[in-house]
A = this chain, B = another copy of it.
Amino acid sequence: MSVLSRGDRVALVSPAGPALAPVLAEGVAVLRSWGLTVTTPVVQPWSLPYLAGSDAGRAAEFVDAWCSDVAAVFCVRGGYGCLRMTDLVPWEELPPRVFVGSSDVTVLHAELNAAGQPTVFGPMPGTRDFVADPLAQQRLRRFLFEGMSSWTAGTPVVPGTARGVLVGGNVALLAAAVGGPRWSVPAAGAIALLEDVGEEAYRLDRLLTQLLRAGWFAPVSGIVLGSWTGCGDVSAVLADRLGPLGVPVLGEFGFGHCPGQWTLPLGVEAVLDASAGTLTLV
């Protein structure tokens, strides 16, 4: 997996919601303190206030940033919107880049991974989860600049080991992508990272049930659970929906919408040992 060095140029993009200017300014200052040269996005006001701009505008910003002379593209925040612009991006034609984002950006990870690009699921510089969380910053920085390849965290839920490509992200967006033009189930043996925020148990049930009925979990050989902030107690629904799959599950791994979130790669092969609580890149 590519990593960054001091002096690298990186572009920030807004494929989903608009970042608050003062939050983004703090986030950019952090990235600059790491020695990165940062290009920030120009948000254009739009009639739907939860979007950072028109679909065409956000897609053009994304493609222009990606194809410019940068080592990496960072999403400023999630919210909602990637599902609306993803069909406007020529995924197969994009050159290799380091890509950082999470939450709503789950949609773009799946597109990039399908096009053969590994990606980085981590905190975003235009969010409070980044600027107010030094540990999450440190973990992103360590992943990008030092290239972490193993993690020990979490609580065993179903013991066992699995090996496969890391896929997944935010469950609501994994479900919302079902039926789209390029949608497909994961590769055989995939290890699914799953997290969400603000989805009550019955809603999480509905999302997982949609993925189950669509066959998304059929090739999955192992599961790593992240945070379920604002979802209430979801242990029963996770056990009910994921238990029958009969694959190793490692819980409370600490990625997604939680303090000190880990930065993890997607689209790369890894070994999960749910008994030992380790995830190791191959």
| Chain A contacts to B: CB under 8 angstroms | 17, 47-48, 50, 79-80, 83-84, 87, 172, 175-181, 183, 201-203, 205-207, 209-210, 213-215, 236-237, 240
Asked, given contacts A201-B48, A213-B181, whether A206 binds B176 with beta carbons under 8 Å apart, the answer is: yes
Q: Is the CB of B175 within 8 A of A214?
A: no
Which residue of chain B lies nearest to A79 when distances are taken between CB atoms in the complex? Answer: B202
Q: Which residues of B contact A209 (CB under 8 A)?
A: 83-84, 176
Q: Is the CB of B50 within 8 A of A202?
A: yes
Q: Is the CB of B210 within 8 A of A50?
A: no
Q: Which residues of B contact A48 (CB under 8 A)?
A: 201, 205, 236-237, 240
Asked, given contacts A176-B206, A179-B178, A236-B48, whether A213 binds B80 with beta carbons under 8 Å apart, the answer is: no
Residue pairs across A and B with Cβ atoms less than 8 A apart, 19 shown, are: A47-B236, A48-B201, A48-B237, A50-B201, A50-B202, A50-B205, A79-B202, A80-B205, A83-B206, A172-B206, A176-B206, A176-B209, A178-B179, A178-B214, A179-B183, A179-B214, A180-B210, A180-B213, A181-B213
Complex Cα gap A215–B179 (Å): 8
Q: Is the CB of B213 within 8 A of A179?
A: yes
Shortest Cβ gap from A67 to chain B (Å): 25
Which residue of chain B lies nearest to A239 when distances are taken between CB atoms in the complex? Answer: B47
Q: How many copies does the complex hold?
A: 2
Q: Which residues of B contact A83 (CB under 8 A)?
A: 206, 209-210, 213
Interface of A is mostly: helix
Shortest Cβ gap from A91 to chain B (Å): 15
Q: Which residues of B contact A240 (CB under 8 A)?
A: 47-48
Complex Cα gap A83–B204 (Å): 13
Q: Which residues of B contact A213 (CB under 8 A)?
A: 83, 87, 179-181
A47, A176, A178, A179 — which one has the most chain B CB atoms within 10 A of its CB?
A179
Complex Cα gap A180–B175 (Å): 12
Complex Cα gap A209–B214 (Å): 18
Which residue of chain B lies nearest to A180 when distances are taken between CB atoms in the complex? Answer: B213
Complex Cα gap A83–B207 (Å): 10
Which residue of chain B lies nearest to A179 when distances are taken between CB atoms in the complex? Answer: B214
Complex Cα gap A50–B236 (Å): 11
Shortest Cβ gap from A50 to chain B (Å): 4
Q: Which residues of B contact A47 (CB under 8 A)?
A: 236, 240
A84, A172, A201, A213 — which one has the most chain B CB atoms within 10 A of its CB?
A213
Which residue of chain B lies nearest to A17 when distances are taken between CB atoms in the complex? Answer: B202
Q: Is the CB of A80 within 8 A of B214?
A: no
Shortest Cβ gap from A178 to chain B (Å): 4
Shortest Cβ gap from A186 to chain B (Å): 14
Shortest Cβ gap from A276 to chain B (Å): 29
Q: Which residues of B contact A214 (CB under 8 A)?
A: 178-180
